[in-house]
A and B are shown apart, each in its own frame.
Chain A
Amino acid sequence: MADPVGYRRAAPGTQPEWLHPPYRSSVGRAPTRPPVRAPHTISEITGPIFGHDRVGPDEVDLTRQHGAPAIGERIIVGGRVLDEDGRPLPGTLVELWQCNAAGRYRHPLDQHDAPLDPNFTGFGRAIADAEGRYRFVTVRPGAYPWRNHANAWRPAHIHFSLFGPGFVTRLVTQMYFPGDPLLPLDPIFNCVADPVAQQRLIAAFDLESTVPEVALGYRWDIVLRGRAATPMER
């Protein structure tokens, strides 16, 4: 059997290094030895494929998962899941989690003195359609303090997790909002050296997906690794 064609490697600076001292938690957890470079075998180019039955009907609208609507500014977040060649990746499982509009997560470790909303869990899930599109309705998450450094605040963000076509296309990331004054101060956002790659983390305000009288729309396309074109790129 011929060797499988692998996926492309990230260009320098387009993905974070494991050790990024301004983000304090990376210091005691980032490996100190360089990872061992390995080819993509059948074990890496394959990966779990999840069917549409994984996603319940309430999971794309985080504002209506309980008895009453969630509190906060309702927004729509949608876009396409693509590979590096711009090809849509239909069937991709997209998981999302976030804090509420006041900047508080529904999690026992989050002791930030901000109210919990009994009508907001902060978890959603979708499967990208035939054109690679996904769409969530949620509330705009609040900024919140953390103890990384003096007077540290995380910019508003939504966590995203994606399973692409193979295990090596796995991506977990965070989406940010345009014009957030906290972005230049955030060591997590600023772990990406390449400015073009970094801009990928910021959604765009989108009048087209804005629903009149209902919610502002934000567009965020997510790009996963593409296939190597030649064996040399493996």
Chain B
Amino acid sequence: MRLVTTPSQTVGPYVHIGFDPMTVTDLAKDAAGERIVVAGRVLDGAGQPIPDAVLELWQANAAGRYAHPEDAGSAPLDPAFLGFGRVPTDGDGRFRFTTIRPGAAPGPGNTLQAPHIVVCLFMRGLLRHLFTRIYLEDAPENAGDPILALIDEPARRGTLLARRTAGEAEYRWDIVMQGDRETVFFDV
């Protein structure tokens, strides 16, 4: 017999009580790889900052391997890297986290997924969380990425590209919920 899944409900305005005890804004710690910072803002349909959002992050290590038994790839695991982050926005809708540049991971068929970070987004007003991805604009693998290729309007792919800020290992990436610059979300 198949059971129906429990429906999602919003995290509401007091999400910090439940999520703050496990906040992780430094995913890198002692892990191997190139340290990068990703920072940005979460904005609503009126362009106003969203102060009560939480981003959860999941990514492969520098070699492209996930710390999970179902990743049977041959790339090495890094015992110092879990790959999970939980990052709240502040009063101005800003977030910032440190991680290591993920390696490319296998995609469907014989494709290769460009380095990316999976984002699960929660906030008051969302009855169900949203999934999106962060890609790094300077990664040459982006051109062949099978998931970016699913986005029909090439202009919208840009909403998933984190832009390198001048000279630093820091990337800028915003989430826009509605409007012309609306971020691409995935039905997964």
Report which A residues bind B (CB closer than 8 A): 1, 3-4, 10-11, 14-18, 20, 23, 25-49, 54, 82-86, 95-97, 99, 105-107, 109-110, 121-123, 125, 159, 161, 166-168, 170-174, 188-189, 191-192, 194, 196-198, 200-201, 222-226
Whether A167 lies near B58 (C-beta < 8 A) is yes
Q: How far is the CA of A146 from the CA of B48 in the complex (A)?
A: 22
Whether A18 lies near B128 (C-beta < 8 A) is yes
B: number of interface residues (CB 8 Å): 73
| Known contacts A46-B66, A191-B127; 6 further A-B pairs (Cβ under 8 A) | A15-B128, A23-B10, A48-B84, A99-B14, A109-B13, A110-B14
A183 nearest CB across to chain B (Å):
13
Q: How far is the CA of A168 from the CA of B1 in the complex (A)?
A: 22
Main SS at interface, chain A:
loop
Whether A107 lies near B5 (C-beta < 8 A) is no
Q: Is B63 an interface residue (CB 8 A)?
A: no
Q: Which of B92-118 contact A (CB under 8 A)?
A: 105-109, 113, 116, 118
Whether A29 lies near B105 (C-beta < 8 A) is no
Q: How far is the CA of A34 from the CA of B2 in the complex (A)?
A: 28
Q: Is B31 an interface residue (CB 8 A)?
A: no
Q: Is B8 an interface residue (CB 8 A)?
A: yes
Whether B7 lies near A197 (C-beta < 8 A) is yes
Q: How far is the CA of A44 from the CA of B185 in the complex (A)?
A: 14
Q: List 20 A-B contacts (CB under 8 A).
A: A16-B128, A18-B130, A26-B125, A27-B125, A28-B46, A28-B177, A29-B125, A30-B126, A32-B45, A41-B105, A42-B70, A48-B58, A95-B21, A97-B14, A173-B9, A197-B6, A197-B7, A201-B7, A223-B4, A226-B5
Q: Which of B72-100 contact A (CB under 8 A)?
A: 72-73, 82-84
Cβ-defined partner of B6 (8 Å) among A37, A123, A173, A191: A173
Whether A174 lies near B124 (C-beta < 8 A) is no
Known interface pairs A35-B130, A200-B4; A1-B106 also in contact (CB < 8 Å):
yes
Whether A85 lies near B3 (C-beta < 8 A) is yes
Cβ-defined partner of A172 (8 Å) among B2, B11, B118: B11
- Nearest first, the 8 closest Cβ-Cβ pairs linking A and B are A97-B18, A25-B125, A46-B68, A29-B125, A48-B84, A16-B127, A35-B187, A174-B9
When each residue 1-35 of chain B gets 1 if its CB lies under 8 Å from chain A and 0 otherwise, what string results? Answer: 11111111111111111110110000000000000
Q: Is B136 an interface residue (CB 8 A)?
A: no
Closest B residue to A83 using CB positions: B3
Q: Is B123 an interface residue (CB 8 A)?
A: yes
Q: How far is the CA of A29 from the CA of B183 in the complex (A)?
A: 12
Known interface pairs A1-B73, A30-B126; A225-B5 also in contact (CB < 8 Å):
yes
| A200 CB contacts on chain B under 8 angstroms | 4-7
| B4 CB contacts on chain A under 8 angstroms | 11, 14, 84, 194, 196-197, 200, 223
Whether A197 lies near B107 (C-beta < 8 A) is no
Whether B8 lies near A4 (C-beta < 8 A) is no
A180 nearest CB across to chain B (Å):
14
